[in-house]
Chain A
């Protein structure tokens, strides 16, 4: 096997720096907790600032209103948002832009991407009740009737739907997966209900498509749909890995804070090795996950290598964040069992991230096929 290395750009370093202070300032935990109660779930003023910083177009070419960097530069931003449990439609909006880039027609890219880069939130409806993480497994149907598509079926885990100006929808058209994009007006007509999800910082919706019709012009380039769906799966995995690495770092910091202040039996509990050594294990798992994350970031566009690196990152980050946040609860003792203790925020976030777009075992199974033959 060739020796693996990580590349790191000047732009990544700058974005890491800026995102670290931005997220720390805009998303203190009191604010995170306040937003748990909020119907929209995020602060639109902060969203506006993120758009002004250009973050929604980091990986969008300049000709479509973006900054023209790559997903490698989105990673530090997503990581820092994860670190501060920052809410908002950054990831779905970035994914929707990637879907349009990978699967849209030139006209769609020209029409939609500049708006998204300027701050129009977007989302995706890809998951279904069957729960298959393979995004090309699509059962929600579209039937073509002249210039109109008649839709049926159901979509789950649609994020921040009420805020979305655009929605990317996967559909089964004549046995093949296709993508379509809906605008604000069509989104408004969808039969939607909010799902109750374990990560209370998220706003997730189900939509029923039965009886909905959209113009056939909503379709993205049919020939690119499968490729676009695969791309979305990998980008989502990459950004979730970034959020998880950030989250793991925070869960560990939060635990260390307690271990260096709480005393029992006359000693700081961090001096007990059953806690100390376990936190070290969590920290090492996090360090490894972060190395995989930035390897996936810098190799993302390499044929084959990018996919393997991303699946590795997702599986390692899932386990690292789960372990760190699981132990965070335990090591806070009785307080860890309370709603007030932040450990639950991290544990819930870790569960959400792991089970979106493939858990550790799912990604390892695909890696096994690629690496072991």
Chain B
């Protein structure tokens, strides 16, 4: 890759910032999802699909993906800048998160030419929505025990079983699917295979599940003698576990190659300061309470920790003691931080903490309450915080498995 001048980057940033300013959508008049896991209504879905398409067409999504498959063929540095500008302006999220962040990079890294040609462009344009079929009702954290069956029959695999917590399952055209092709394999992992499965064949049915907020966002997905083409297989039969683990590395930020843009809008630590100024405790602004002030400063310090750890992760001499540590810790650090931040925002509100979205007297239209409840999506989804502790303990600190 030829070296890029700072001038080029600066110009690109200025263009991106100007484009965002010009094109960032106005408030649509309904509540937008804060994360890709909360797309619950058709109007949210359509709005976000259109927005993603617009960002892609403008060149600010998939900037670093190869041109021949639908990307824009630039250096990663350009996409990073575009992503920063999109986030800085607090624009709506990118809808097709599973395609953009996991399925896409996976296909680009280990997919066949045919798969790249078929899937990449539709991921970027939001034409083809992707979902992830890993978790099952009886096997969540213990993913390696997944039991959904895929049985080879001529040119097809026949699927039976059920996946659950399938984010955007009801909108998806494709699923990255982990299924059991060999129940008699020498160990539970060796029996698994990975598929880029169509969702639109007979025998696949999705049933929306209501989330703790009362809204929708994920489904249970049932497979009843569903036939998918044998070429849906990704990698070899019996190698599904390795492919799934690779996918999780993209998901946890431990491996790069994502298309860019943000798929979650984090609560803004600055916004909580505004809340502390207007919320009252004992007739005075919460901001004047010394205990509140101490806690706010702790949260601001921690918010900065996340940025600093990401900055330090790129300084080799300062990571050499345990090279994987910062990358493997970032999900745990940030998701638990935002959960606590949102929870603290409620504590500022006194009795009004008990209001919820829809109550006209709620602070900030009840967004903190909703954000707190929704924050568990990230502390549970993608591997729970407890599982992250195990991973860090075992893979970073070298502790024995339980």
Chain A interface (Cβ < 8 Å from any Cβ of B): 1, 3-6, 8, 12-13, 16-17, 249, 252, 256, 259-260, 267-268, 270-273, 276-277, 279-281, 283-284, 287-288, 290-292, 294-295, 312, 315-316, 361, 364-365, 367-368, 371-372
The CA of A69 and the CA of B116, in the complex, are separated in Å by 52
Contacts of B312 on A, CB cut-off 8 Å?
6, 290-291, 294
Q: Is B186 an interface residue (CB 8 A)?
A: no
A287 x B294 contact (CB < 8 A): no
Write 18 A-B pairs (CB below 8 A) sorted by A numbering: A6-B312, A8-B318, A17-B317, A260-B399, A268-B399, A268-B400, A273-B390, A276-B399, A279-B397, A287-B326, A288-B333, A290-B318, A292-B304, A292-B305, A294-B315, A315-B301, A365-B293, A368-B293
A6 x B317 contact (CB < 8 A): no
Q: Is B398 an interface residue (CB 8 A)?
A: yes
B297 x A5 contact (CB < 8 A): no
A8-B317, A16-B317, A316-B301 given; name 5 further pairs at CB < 8 Å: A270-B393, A279-B393, A291-B308, A361-B294, A372-B293
How near does chain B come to A73, taking the closest CB pair, in angstroms? Answer: 13
User: Given contacts A16-B317, A316-B301, is CB(A260)–CB(B400) below 8 Å?
Assistant: yes
The CA of A368 and the CA of B297, in the complex, are separated in Å by 6
A288 x B305 contact (CB < 8 A): yes
The CA of A277 and the CA of B391, in the complex, are separated in Å by 10
The CA of A368 and the CA of B287, in the complex, are separated in Å by 10
How near does chain A come to B273, taking the closest CB pair, in angstroms? Answer: 7
Contact of A364 among B294, B315, B398, B401 (CB under 8 A): B294
Contacts of A284 on B, CB cut-off 8 Å?
329, 332-333, 392
B392 x A13 contact (CB < 8 A): no
How near does chain B come to A266, taking the closest CB pair, in angstroms? Answer: 12
Contacts of A316 on B, CB cut-off 8 Å?
301, 305
Contacts of B315 on A, CB cut-off 8 Å?
6, 8, 294
User: Given contacts A1-B269, A290-B318, is CB(A270)–CB(B400) below 8 Å?
Assistant: yes
Q: Which residues B320-345 have CB closer than 8 A to chain A?
A: 321, 325-326, 329, 332-333
Q: Which residues B282-306 have CB closer than 8 A to chain A?
A: 287, 290, 293-294, 296-298, 300-305
How near does chain B come to A334, taking the closest CB pair, in angstroms? Answer: 21
B329 x A287 contact (CB < 8 A): yes
Contacts of A3 on B, CB cut-off 8 Å?
307
Contacts of A281 on B, CB cut-off 8 Å?
389
Q: Enumerate the 5 nearest inter-chain pairs by beta-carbon distance, A residue then B residue, closest first.
A: A291-B308, A288-B305, A270-B399, A276-B393, A368-B293
The CA of A294 and the CA of B314, in the complex, are separated in Å by 13
Chain B interface (Cβ < 8 Å from any Cβ of A): 269-270, 273, 276, 287, 290, 293-294, 296-298, 300-305, 307-309, 311-312, 315, 317-318, 321, 325-326, 329, 332-333, 386, 389-390, 392-394, 396-402
Contacts of B317 on A, CB cut-off 8 Å?
8, 12-13, 16-17
Contacts of A294 on B, CB cut-off 8 Å?
308, 312, 315, 318
The CA of A7 and the CA of B217, in the complex, are separated in Å by 41
Contacts of B270 on A, CB cut-off 8 Å?
1
Contacts of B287 on A, CB cut-off 8 Å?
372
- The chain A residue sitting closest to B313, CB to CB, is A291
- The chain A residue sitting closest to B303, CB to CB, is A1
A271 x B296 contact (CB < 8 A): no
B309 x A287 contact (CB < 8 A): yes
The CA of A279 and the CA of B321, in the complex, are separated in Å by 16
Contacts of B309 on A, CB cut-off 8 Å?
287-288, 291
A256 x B294 contact (CB < 8 A): no
Contacts of A277 on B, CB cut-off 8 Å?
386, 389-390, 393
How near does chain B come to A201, taking the closest CB pair, in angstroms? Answer: 23
How near does chain B come to A274, taking the closest CB pair, in angstroms? Answer: 11
How near does chain A come to B73, taking the closest CB pair, in angstroms? Answer: 27
B311 x A249 contact (CB < 8 A): no
How near does chain B come to A367, taking the closest CB pair, in angstroms? Answer: 5
How near does chain A come to B272, taking the closest CB pair, in angstroms? Answer: 11
How near does chain B come to A285, taking the closest CB pair, in angstroms? Answer: 9
The CA of A341 and the CA of B132, in the complex, are separated in Å by 49
The CA of A121 and the CA of B315, in the complex, are separated in Å by 34
Contacts of A259 on B, CB cut-off 8 Å?
399
User: Given contacts A6-B315, A270-B400, is CB(A372)–CB(B393) below 8 Å?
Assistant: no
B297 x A367 contact (CB < 8 A): yes
How near does chain A come to B292, taking the closest CB pair, in angstroms? Answer: 9
The CA of A292 and the CA of B305, in the complex, are separated in Å by 7
Contacts of B325 on A, CB cut-off 8 Å?
283, 287
A280 x B304 contact (CB < 8 A): no
B397 x A256 contact (CB < 8 A): yes
How near does chain A come to B88, taking the closest CB pair, in angstroms? Answer: 9
B398 x A276 contact (CB < 8 A): no
B400 x A364 contact (CB < 8 A): no
Contact of A288 among B297, B302, B311 (CB under 8 A): B302
The CA of A367 and the CA of B315, in the complex, are separated in Å by 27
A271 x B293 contact (CB < 8 A): no
Contacts of A6 on B, CB cut-off 8 Å?
308, 311-312, 315, 318
How near does chain B come to A121, taking the closest CB pair, in angstroms? Answer: 30
User: Given contacts A4-B308, A273-B402, A288-B302, is CB(A365)–CB(B294) below 8 Å?
Assistant: yes
How near does chain A come to B101, taking the closest CB pair, in angstroms? Answer: 21
The CA of A279 and the CA of B298, in the complex, are separated in Å by 21
